[in-house]
Structure 1
């Protein structure tokens, strides 16, 4: 190639890189889809106060809003690992909060890593990967810039499950999530006109901790939830005929001294006193609205620095959350309220008028969606054994739903949750049912279920029981349906794809 040809090639490459859309990647810990934009049958509970979430709702109004999106495991590290690698827990081999996917699953490429490899500067702020050993301290290979966590001033480590901090006390010692939002704004400024990274495409991941426990927030956010507006859940008892494997004893909540002193055991069909339930629900909502305000701050910065028209924005919660429904708390189950979480993707010029879909989607779909939206090289579908393959996907790009939100799509979403004693609960959400089998599971080196060893079965008919209060798996009228759903569950996610890849 002559000199002129080299110059043309360089100019073309620069045009490709510097003309690309940026990505702003929000993650929110323990976020229920109990937001105004989810009003209707997709709310996690029929009993709730009006949720004050104007900023997330504003983002949703210009996004592809996935009203029925499901995580692959309802706890932090397994869910985040699955989202960030685009692969399911039985591929990442991450089921807990301590192991690292590159040690157990494979050297998988992550979302920020892939954008980094494609000429983006990737910046991680707050909680994106689960902290500590679960990510080898935020998976360093994924980021171009030093990782930012913020400074702890002791607010989040109080010996109480929740705390409303007077706003004036936070002026000099802000909450960590406020620091995260401020750092996100400063990072955006670095890419703006006159900044050191002007003209370079960015992938900025902003992870907010709240409303994760303890529910700590500026006191002023309680104004949106007067005490008399907060209601008790309508279903404070475990589902009838529920197998005991389905139950979590909400150890995360019971570890707080103020809850421990209530002498709650976490046993099936026990729950907290009504006043404690109401306090916790109000505190969760207040913390949620606090996080919403921070999302608004960062989005306003995106506009201020001139990136609104060329930045893809995604927002997701790492799983749902139980606030006394079924007598349960936190996550750690396969119930609808734990596996169903918010997911939305804003693509300038494509979703400006808002697109809502009721199709069943999964969080493993986010990776290929962002890749396609940014016009990067598409990802291949993973083979059965992808442990030696760095880049592939076990979800599907959601871009077809941008064009046709009612179009042909997968007919089931899959999640799972482990229990002690080598038991795994595999659950499947179809349009009208949730079907779950608790079976024997072999860990390393096999990582496979033994479908013939069943400890419990659940079937919830969402046509008549959207709160999943009655397990009809043992009802003779549902015998044939259980068999049909069992075959479908065993066939797995590949069989639910509406086309052959």
Structure 2
């Protein structure tokens, strides 16, 4: 299908239905542990069969991005970047303590764009990182109606429940799980919007599988304990610089982890019995989230809204479940930066399109804009602090077209900050190509410059995905990789603009 024909198709759909609605799903801490990712893009070589029928069905009717990479592997920076289509060095959001409108600029977000263009924009659950510090309490300017948080959210976030819990039906009757409340709210909102005169943008953010891994007990039955396996690489990569390591102290704070001698040090990890427990619980939490997405999509279909509703789904970053001995996210490894994303465009992707092209989360905003029939977003200038609407990504629409993907980019850029007692602020810039992951840890100047000092290098990593897809051996100091390292270093330092020739 060529671009002219596609645009004609969009125009004809708009003439029949009007502007398409958008159903915008987000999941927290979900790596690509879905059935539709089985194969080389699945996050681990040892696993039980995953039970994710609803997301697998959605993927079969979507542009499924097998190699989508976040711009920073932790909640607030990743969401701020994705929702504004700007990278962390533009949003200046590197932690949960910064709100992009205060430190980066007054940038238009995805829901705000649709609101500004005649849509009713509604937010439920976790879309922006919540709270007054991270998002001004869910970025009010992005929404047409008051924001919705589940009433029971704080109860089930309490660490007293432990790192995971399979919740009985009786306990749920006393205090329902918040993600179920969010799904039920989404269902009622869809019913109210059925005959609305304006198109809608409905954002539904589920908290799971974020810690603590809490889910209805029946989902545990999908993963018999005897089928769960330990990761095959519970050790740090050889030749890994210490600055690359994340000391996983967050998971150690749960009461059921006490007494397990969890230090978070390099080449330490959680005891085997607890690792198996946590992996089983994480899989169960993913299947629980899958069920909730199916619950909402089924209501969309029942109401007859599916024929004119774009559906996107993404997890805000990956997660490490004991691989490399690591837990949580907060690294530049493949498992932390690689996450699931798919976009369903009715009448266009119905037969399913699977791409192995490398894509980035900053690509989602311009994609939804074009899929909804709006003009393309302009590329951001080098200093876009005073530019309200632009993109540092690329629309994924060429990947929908069979004859337009040959010129697609072949590199994704991510980053993660570290604070070193002696060095000060360090930024790990990482780049994923089809064959390699290359990372440089450099001195970083925070406010007001927000820029790296490439001459102050504090660690280098080079992983060859052709022979080492689990990133177990850094080749940065291997003499046989000298020319490859030099080439990748030049490319990394040129950044995304250099990769696009702009």
Q: CA deviation at 1:17?
A: 12
Pair 51,175 (structure 1): closer, same or farther in 2 beyond 3 Å: same
- Are 1:43 and 2:45 an aligned pair? no
Alignment match, 2:23: 24
Q: Output the CA distance in 2 between the equivalents of 1:235 and 1:489.
A: 27
Secondary structure at the aligned position of 1:495 is classed as helix
Alignment match, 1:255: 253
Secondary structure at the aligned position of 1:417 is classed as strand
CA contact (8 A) 2:26 2:205 kept: yes
Alignment match, 1:5: none
- Are 1:136 and 2:110 an aligned pair? no
Q: Quote the RMSD (CA, aligned, Å).
A: 1.3
Q: Output the CA distance in 1 between the equivalents of 2:284 and 2:405.
A: 35
Secondary structure at the aligned position of 1:473 is classed as coil
Q: Output the CA distance in 1 between the equivalents of 2:442 and 2:430.
A: 11
What is the TM-score of this pair, normalised by structure 2? 0.94
CA contact (8 A) 1:18 1:200 kept: no
- Are 1:116 and 2:115 an aligned pair? yes
* Residues matched between the structures, number: 481
Q: Output the CA distance in 2 between the equivalents of 1:172 and 1:107.
A: 42
Alignment match, 1:76: 75
Alignment match, 2:8: none
Q: CA deviation at 1:152?
A: 1.5
Q: Which is worse superposed, 376-385 or 223-232?
A: 376-385
Q: Output the CA distance in 2 between the equivalents of 1:20 and 1:166.
A: 43
Q: Output the CA distance in 1 between the equivalents of 2:461 and 2:443.
A: 16
Alignment match, 2:471: 468
Q: Output the CA distance in 2 between the equivalents of 1:341 and 1:365.
A: 14
Alignment match, 1:446: 449
Secondary structure at the aligned position of 1:283 is classed as helix
Q: Output the CA distance in 1 between the equivalents of 2:259 and 2:449.
A: 42
Q: CA deviation at 1:252?
A: 1.5
Q: Output the CA distance in 1 between the equivalents of 2:178 and 2:472.
A: 38
361, 369, 372: which is aligned to 1:371? 369
Q: CA deviation at 1:260?
A: 3.3
Deviation >2 Å, runs of 4+ = 15-18, 153-156, 404-407
Secondary structure at the aligned position of 1:95 is classed as coil
For residues 302-347 of structure 1, give each alpha carbon's deviation from its aligned partner in whole angstroms, at most 9, with x where no partner exists: 1011111100000000000000000000000000000000000000
Q: Output the CA distance in 2 between the equivalents of 1:261 and 1:319.
A: 30
Q: Output the CA distance in 2 between the equivalents of 1:378 and 1:406.
A: 17
Alignment match, 1:174: 176
Which residues of structure 2 form unaligned runs of 5+? 1-13
Alignment match, 1:58: 57
- Are 1:185 and 2:183 an aligned pair? no
CA contact (8 A) 1:17 1:200 kept: no
Q: CA deviation at 1:18?
A: 7.3
Alignment match, 2:343: 345
Secondary structure at the aligned position of 1:134 is classed as helix
Q: Output the CA distance in 2 between the equivalents of 1:69 and 1:417.
A: 17
- Are 1:105 and 2:104 an aligned pair? yes
Q: Output the CA distance in 2 between the equivalents of 1:406 and 1:167.
A: 49
Q: Output the CA distance in 1 between the equivalents of 2:193 and 2:267.
A: 53
Which residues of structure 1 form unaligned runs of 5+? 1-14
- Are 1:425 and 2:424 an aligned pair? no
Q: Output the CA distance in 2 between the equivalents of 1:43 and 1:285.
A: 13
CA contact (8 A) 1:69 1:342 kept: yes
